[in-house]
Amino acid sequence: MNLDLTQYEIIMVVGALVATWVKHRIDYSKLEAKVNALEQDNRGFKEDLKTLIEAVQEIKLLLAKNQVE
């Protein structure tokens, strides 16, 4: 089985491979940006949650002091 490819066919195959690689790189970059954005949102959420926990602990202490008195 002899596989003879013309220059045109070779150029088309190479072009398709390059286009596929570029598309995957673009998709990867988009996903990477989304992951970074989600991580930033997660950090902000953790900071807010930490502040909320500290406030709840302070309320617990105040309630405990009022019951002791």
How far, rounded to the nearest angstrom, does the alpha carbon of residue 11 sit from its chain's CA centroid?
A: 36
Question: HSE on the CB side for 51, CA within 13 Å?
Answer: 6
Query: Looking at the predicted structure, is the pLDDT value of residue 69 above 70?
Result: no
Lookup result for tokens 């930490």: 50
Q: Which residues, at least 6 apart from 45, have a Cβ–Cβ distance to it below 8 Å?
A: none
Q: Name the pLDDT band for 41 (thresholds 50, 70, 90).
A: confident
d(CA 11, CA 4): 14
Q: What is the pLDDT of residue 40?
A: 87
Query: Looking at the predicted structure, is the pLDDT value of residue 1 above 70?
Result: no
> Is the pLDDT higher at 22 or at 9?
22
Query: Looking at the predicted structure, is the pLDDT value of residue 68 above 80?
Result: no
Question: HSE on the CB side for 11, CA within 13 Å?
Answer: 3
